[in-house]
């Protein structure tokens, strides 16, 4: 099962030959015709539209951005802390249940 499958000597290719025949007689057209002169004159290129002005922050917008970032950090932090707290409470309750079950199973006659 794990031994390699070697073809019989009469069908194995010799080291000097290839299974793929060489490509001969193929003529490829040029990739582009950008180096030739056009037969008809082209229309002038329209001017680019004026650039948009850069974004300017006012002191009010900076305060709003800082307040929004702070609110996002506080909300995400609250969610993460509540998830960690829920995990801790679940772990403690499972541990308490394990201790109670162990005490019940170890001493069934001492109730």
Whole-number Å distance between alpha carbons of 75 and 24: 69
pLDDT for 87: 97
Identify the CA nearest to 59 among candidates 67, 70, 71. Answer: 67
d(CA 11, CA 13): 6
pLDDT higher at 106 or 14: 106
pTM of the model: 0.42
Q: What is the pLDDT of residues 25-50, one digit of tens each?
A: 777 676 776 766 555 656 677 777 77
* Torsion 56-57-58-64 (CA) sign: positive
- pLDDT at residue 70 in the model: 96
Q: How far is CA 84 from the centre of its chain?
A: 27
Predicted confidence (pLDDT) per residue in 67-109, tens digit: 999 999 999 999 999 999 999 999 999 999 999 999 888 876 6
Separation of alpha carbons 94 and 88, rounded Å = 10
């Amino acid at each position: 099962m794990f031994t390699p499958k070697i073809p019989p000597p009469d069908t194995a290719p010799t080291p000097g030959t290839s299974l793929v025949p060489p490509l001969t007689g193929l003529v490829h057209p040029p990739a582009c015709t950008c180096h030739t002169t056009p037969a008809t004159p082209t229309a002038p290129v329209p001017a680019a539209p004026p650039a948009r002005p850069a974004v300017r922050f006012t002191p009010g917008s900076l305060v709003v951005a800082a307040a929004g970032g702070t609110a996002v950090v506080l909300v995400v932090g609250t969610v993460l802390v509540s998830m960690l707290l829920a995990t801790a409470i679940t772990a403690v309750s499972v541990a308490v249940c394990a201790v109670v079950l162990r005490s019940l199973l170890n001493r069934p006659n001492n109730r």
